[in-house]
């Protein structure tokens, strides 16, 4: 479904207002999926969310392009997390907890808040506006390098929290990303890798 930024915001608000009103009216939790079944029965909406549907085609880890300000200090999954990438205190996560606990009153209140969240003040980072890699550079260089950098920064932030299990997982992923980059470099440049081994 092709949406403009304005359409995504409008549809986001309509859906969450409907969820809030109908949940309160029926005194039972209704979900965005119920709205989509009723109003968009033959459409597949990314993650059941119009903002994700809008942002996903723009790519770049599509959360960067979310048109809604979720009142979060982070840039990834800000609908689920507030101050930390795994705190699960974002508006959507709070709504999910209320919905899963069948707390229709809290779910209705949170859905109304979600519907009225303000727009983000930033323009979307459209793919065409991004700096292009040099001709011949393969995608793994871009994704592995950025992922390694992102994980390293996350480990640095978490180093004082004593959340060692998470840090260990991230460190393992860094090792895997490095191995992938090495393998791909050897595959791309077999002569260079042989001369480096000698």
Residue ending a domain, among 112, 127, 142, is 127
**What span, in angstroms and rounded, lies between the C-alpha atoms of 15 and 117?**
13
pLDDT in tens, 42-99: 888 877 888 888 887 655 556 777 888 888 776 667 776 676 666 677 788 889 899 9
- 166 is in which domain, residue-wise? 131-197
* Residues 112 and 102 sit within 8 Å (Cβ to Cβ): no
pLDDT in tens, 115-137: 998 988 765 444 344 444 455 54
pTM here?
Answer: 0.59
Residue ending a domain, among 77, 97, 127, is 127
Give me the count of residues in the chain: 198
Mean pLDDT for the chain?
76
Q: For residues 112 and 189, state if they share a domain.
A: no
Decide if pLDDT at 104 tops 60: yes
Q: For residues 78 and 105, state if they share a domain.
A: yes
Total tally of structural domains belonging to the chain: 2
Q: For residues 75 and 91, state if they share a domain.
A: yes
Q: For residues 51 and 30, state if they share a domain.
A: yes
Q: For residues 122 and 159, state if they share a domain.
A: no
Residue ending a domain, among 127, 153, 181, is 127
Q: For residues 108 and 65, state if they share a domain.
A: yes
Q: How far, in Å, are 1, 21, 23, 108 from residue 29 at the CA level?
A: 27, 10, 5, 8
């Amino acid at each position: 479904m092709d949406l403009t930024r304005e359409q995504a915001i409008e549809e986001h608000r309509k859906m969450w207002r409907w969820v809030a009103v109908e949940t309160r009216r029926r005194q039972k939790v209704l979900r965005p999926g119920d709205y989509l079944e009723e109003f968009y029965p033959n459409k597949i909406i990314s993650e059941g969310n119009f903002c994700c549907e809008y942002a996903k085609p723009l790519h770049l880890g599509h959360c960067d392009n979310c048109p809604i300000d979720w009142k979060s200090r982070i840039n990834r999954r800000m609908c689920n997390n507030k101050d930390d990438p795994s705190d699960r205190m974002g508006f959507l996560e709070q709504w999910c907890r209320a919905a899963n606990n069948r707390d229709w009153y809290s779910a209705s209140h949170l859905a109304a808040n979600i519907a009225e969240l303000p727009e983000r003040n930033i323009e979307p980072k459209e793919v065409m506006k991004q700096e292009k890699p040099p001709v011949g550079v393969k995608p793994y260089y871009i994704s592995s390098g950025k992922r390694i950098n992102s994980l390293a920064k996350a480990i640095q932030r978490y180093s004082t929290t004593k959340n060692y299990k998470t840090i260990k997982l991230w460190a393992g992923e860094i090792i895997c990303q490095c191995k992938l980059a090495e393998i791909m470099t050897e595959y791309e440049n077999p002569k260079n890798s042989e001369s480096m081994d000698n």
